[in-house]
Amino acid sequence: MKRILRLFLILVLLVVLAAGGLIAWLSVTEYKPEPIEDLALLSSSETMLPPDSSLQLISWNIGYGGLGKNADFFMDGGQNVRSSGPNAVGEYLNGIKAFLRQYPDALMLLQEVDLDSTRSYGIDQVAYLSGEGLPMARVHALNYSTPFVPYPLPPIGKVSSGLYTLSPYKIDLAQRHALPCPFSWPVSTANLKRCLLVSYLPIEGSDRQLVLVNLHLEAYDDGEGKIAQTKQLRDFILSEYEKGNYVIAGGDFNQAFPGSLDVFTNTHPEVWSPGILEQDLLPQGWQLAFDLNTPSCRLLNQPYNPEDTVNTQLYVIDGFLLSPNVELEQVETVDLGFADADHNPVRLQVRLAG
């Protein structure tokens, strides 16, 4: 009996030491970006943005090429940690790239683009989503960088991922602006470090700039993180507009746009509930640009099955914020049937006016 007890105590001690060692390693290697960091352009364009321009933009959370029609995800009430294999990721990325190539002159704001992650089988998606048929100027900002995410079982593993902006026009400066992190130690060591990817585009013959903000706000927090991050986003874009610049902020807000819950009722709040974007988020003259005709995101509780109306949950959480000197011409969510990602792309047409 004593021998069994001794073996049990040794086993418990080994587990405690292993857990302590893992936490210590993750603490030492934790990604700790500065509040504001200048980013190097991966490639550039010398084409200047013409004044009084009509511009097309695409915002799309591509789900690291692993969350297409056949995928579910454990954080959304599903079963899986990652896609079924590298062939599935390759298939989804092929579909994503084919769609983006239809818009070679668009400004593109992409979220969840992996560099080297276990969940997407080490595929460098930044390199993959570049080249012929895609905009020339490119910049990537990390918002998730950890050598190992130890949960669930099997664990997520290594993650290197972030925001990716592509532009057919010249980018003078690109910066990473850190957002508040709602998670405390030790959870923070292997969690996302959200940010804004800010690109400054010069306008030909003008001292104004187009300030382009790529964003992906908190998803699985208690709500306070999204509120704090949205406040910082608001303060930043207002400050840039006050300088006389044009401002377009777009991406995955993880918050329901006004009126969207009336169209796509959340029947699974026990699994996941988005925050709420209020109509009066910004002063008079600013616009929220979104489309209520087509959902921009689905719940990953199961593979996509639009005929299963009971278990298929849809949202409108992707869109844009426009400063008063940016004139909205058209906004639409492109219905791709969630074939290659758990989000549909949102296409925006605007004119820089005033």
163-174 pLDDT, tens per residue?
Answer: 999 999 999 999
Res. 11 pLDDT band, cuts 50 70 90: low
- What is the SS3 assignment for 32? coil
- Does the pLDDT value for residue 190 go beyond 90? no
- The pTM assigned to this predicted structure is 0.95
Res. 301 pLDDT band, cuts 50 70 90: very high
Nearest to 295 by CA among 333, 341, 252, 347: 333
Beta-strand runs (E) in the chain? 36-38, 54-61, 107-114, 137-149, 157-167, 173-178, 195-202, 209-216, 246-252, 255-256, 275-276, 287-289, 297-298, 314-315, 318-322, 326-333, 346-352
User: Average pLDDT, stretch 266-277?
Assistant: 93
243-266 pLDDT, tens per residue?
Answer: 999 999 999 999 999 999 999 999
Highest mean pLDDT among 6-20, 177-191, 340-354: 340-354
Instruction: Report the helix count and the strand count for the chain, using DSSP H and E.
Output: 5, 17
Q: What is the pLDDT of residue 75?
A: 92
The mean of the pLDDT values for the chain is 92
